[in-house]
């Protein structure tokens, strides 16, 4: 359950902390007082889009934080652990989200940074929100199908159906690609042949670009290399005053010195090392000179080769790996075009098999939907009777689609006949907004019995209702609250009196700024709030007595 909701600098709310109780929590207040801010805060915490316009004027950021106690934290813990977060301790879960005027929003789950995507996954298991916009959603066949599939738990059947359906789409795309290429097949083959031949003749597999560059550098700078090498060998060993000769003179002196002082022996060993290294360097340079290839024709070949590689890079990729990948892809494309007729025959066979599987899995899904539709229809009718449709009928038709779609081969259509003697017609064709509200509540009441989501939020589900229908809605919400924590934002006193926990949103102006307070009410204060909902700000003994009667009846 949701135990506490804290809001800071959200729209007209500067700061508020709201405690919630088990069962039915009702939130009331005058129109424009800021009741919707509670729903906005919860939607933020469920991963809805971060709207910077929600930040209170003059503030740099707004924040919403919710604390939950989870009686069964297992599913939430699984999501958290899979995402690398710690599981809930003793069933306690804290979610916080802030929106800054500059920069992205920030999400924390149990004080650990998290992503909005993870927040949505957690939110889907925590709260089911129903606002006025969902009234219109109920009129759409896609939404009706989602309700039926959720009630019937058709997830496995949907997954089994979608596998061949996705294969069908891929095969159709491949077949279409062949069809679009019909007129240019010969030209494509000619182009591919030219590209393949050009890359194969370049012999990229047996070419080391670094070696080519190194050899080109040596030959292009041969005269300077020879000049430097001659200077090195002359300086080290060839000239009269070469380094090797100087070292030899020093060595003779050190030999005599070693007979006179012991430490000169170590110096003698060191100079021997220097002499050997000097001679080795001179020999290595001389050997390099002897192997030096200064063939001008080789230089021309290297320059042509490097120019060719640069040309190929501009056409086929910046690296050898890119060009080789292009070559392999071109070979595969040529093979496909060369075996086009064979592949088209294979596609046709695979399409027939996919269509067969689609029909097979689609029929299995249809049978399950028909069974679930009968049960759901009966249960919804029972709840509709409690909501004022004593003789109302509710049916769910499963009709075939013209073509298979991603969700099956059926169109799910809710039918409703609110009054005796009326023909059953599609819900979207006959229902008023008040009737839609009650149908939605009946559906929610049925789904709540099967749904594991612990918290249900209803934002003005009683819109366009009144009188006895308000009493019926209140009783139905109280019934749903026996198995779930329910939060209901309402303007109807008949609904408000059914709440086990009553919160009032009040707006005031202080120091030239609008402020909102959210406070629990009970006893005499609650009667006054119900009286205000009945008759406005001017309380009379009649409205107060009526309010107390409603509370006593509830």
286-311 residue pLDDT tens? 888 777 766 777 777 777 888 888 88
Closest CA to 202 of 295, 334, 315, 333: 315
Q: Which of 42, 45, 55 is nearest to 95 (CA)?
A: 45
Token pair 């070696």 is found at 211
Instruction: Look at residue 284 and tell me whether its pLDDT is greater than 80.
Output: yes
Considering the chain, what percentage of its residues have pLDDT values greater than 70? 94
Q: What is the pLDDT of residues 493-543, one digit of tens each?
A: 999 989 999 999 888 777 777 778 888 988 778 888 888 888 766 667 777
R_g over Cα of the chain: 41
Whether pLDDT at 463 is above 70:
no
Q: Which of 143, 22, 37, 88 is nearest to 518 (CA)?
A: 37
The answer, yes or no, to whether residue 419 has pLDDT greater than 60, is: yes
| Section 187-202 average pLDDT | 88
As a whole number, mean pLDDT of residues 329-339 equals: 83
Task: Quote the pLDDT of residue 430.
Answer: 67
How far CA 243 is from CA of 184, 232, 287, 377, 502, in Å, comes to: 75, 10, 19, 106, 102
* Residue whose entry in the numeric block shows the structure tokens 């929106």: 99
Compute the mean pLDDT over every residue in the chain, rounded to the nearest whole number.
85
- pLDDT band, residue 143 (cuts 50/70/90): confident
pLDDT of residue 135: 56
Question: pTM score, two decimals?
Answer: 0.62
Q: What is the pLDDT of residues 18-55, one digit of tens each?
A: 999 999 999 988 876 677 788 888 989 988 888 888 88
The arithmetic mean of pLDDT across residues 402-428, rounded, is 89
């Amino acid at each position: 359950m949701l135990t506490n909701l804290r809001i800071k600098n959200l729209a007209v709310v500067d700061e508020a902390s709201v405690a919630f109780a088990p069962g039915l929590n009702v939130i009331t207040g005058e129109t424009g007082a800021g009741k919707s801010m509670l729903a906005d805060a919860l939607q933020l915490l469920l991963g809805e889009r971060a709207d910077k316009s929600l930040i209170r004027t003059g503030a740099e950021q707004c924040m919403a934080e919710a604390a939950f106690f989870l009686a069964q934290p297992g599913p939430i813990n699984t999501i958290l652990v899979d995402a690398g977060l710690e599981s809930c301790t003793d069933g306690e879960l804290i979610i916080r989200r802030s929106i800054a005027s500059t920069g992205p929003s920030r999400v924390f789950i149990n004080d650990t940074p998290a992503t909005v995507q993870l927040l949505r996954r957690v939110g889907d298991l925590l709260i089911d929100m129903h606002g006025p916009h969902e009234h219109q959603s109920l009129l759409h066949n896609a939404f009706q199908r989602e309700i039926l599939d959720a009630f019937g738990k058709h997830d496995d059947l949907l997954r089994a159906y979608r596998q061949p359906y996705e294969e069908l789409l891929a095969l159709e795309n491949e077949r279409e690609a062949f069809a679009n290429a019909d007129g240019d097949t010969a030209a494509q083959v000619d182009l591919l042949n030219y590209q393949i031949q050009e890359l194969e003749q370049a012999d990229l597999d047996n070419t080391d670009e670094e070696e080519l560059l190194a050899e080109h550098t040596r030959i292009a700078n041969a005269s300077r290399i020879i000049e430097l090498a001659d200077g090195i060998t002359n300086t080290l060993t060839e000239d009269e005053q070469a380094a090797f000769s100087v070292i030899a003179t020093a060595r003779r002196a050190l030999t005599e010195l070693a007979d006179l002082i012991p430490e000169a022996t170590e110096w003698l060993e060191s100079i021997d090392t220097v002499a050997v290294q000097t001679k080795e360097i001179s020999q290595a340079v001389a050997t390099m000179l002897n192997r030096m290839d200064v063939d001008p024709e080789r230089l021309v070949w290297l320059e042509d080769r490097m120019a060719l590689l640069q040309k190929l890079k501009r056409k086929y990729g910046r690296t050898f790996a890119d060009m080789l990948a292009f070559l392999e892809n071109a070979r595969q494309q040529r093979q496909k075009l060369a075996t086009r007729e064979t592949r088209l025959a294979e596609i046709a066979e695979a399409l027939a098999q996919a269509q067969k599987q689609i029909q097979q899995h689609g029929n299995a899904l249809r049978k399950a939907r028909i069974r679930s539709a009968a049960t759901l229809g009966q249960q919804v009718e029972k709840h509709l009777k409690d909501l004022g449709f004593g003789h109302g009928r509710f049916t769910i038709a499963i009709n075939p689609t013209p073509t298979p779609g991603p969700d099956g081969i059926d169109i799910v259509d809710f039918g409703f006949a609110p009054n005796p003697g009326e023909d059953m017609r599609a819900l979207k064709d006959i229902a008023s907004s008040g009737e839609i509200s009650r149908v939605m509540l009946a559906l929610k009441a049925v789904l709540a019995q099967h749904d594991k989501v612990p918290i249900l939020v209803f934002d003005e589900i009683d819109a366009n209702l009144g009188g006895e229908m308000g009493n019926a809605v209140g009783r139905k919400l109280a019934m749903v609250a026996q198995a779930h924590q329910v939060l209901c934002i309402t303007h109807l006193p008949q609904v408000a009196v059914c709440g086990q926990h009553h919160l009032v949103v009040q707006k005031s102006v202080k120091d030239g700024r609008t402020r909102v307070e959210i406070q629990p009410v009970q006893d005499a204060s609650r009667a006054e709030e119900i009286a205000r909902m009945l008759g406005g700000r001017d309380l009379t003994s009649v409205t107060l007595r009526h309010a107390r009667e409603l509370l006593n009846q509830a």
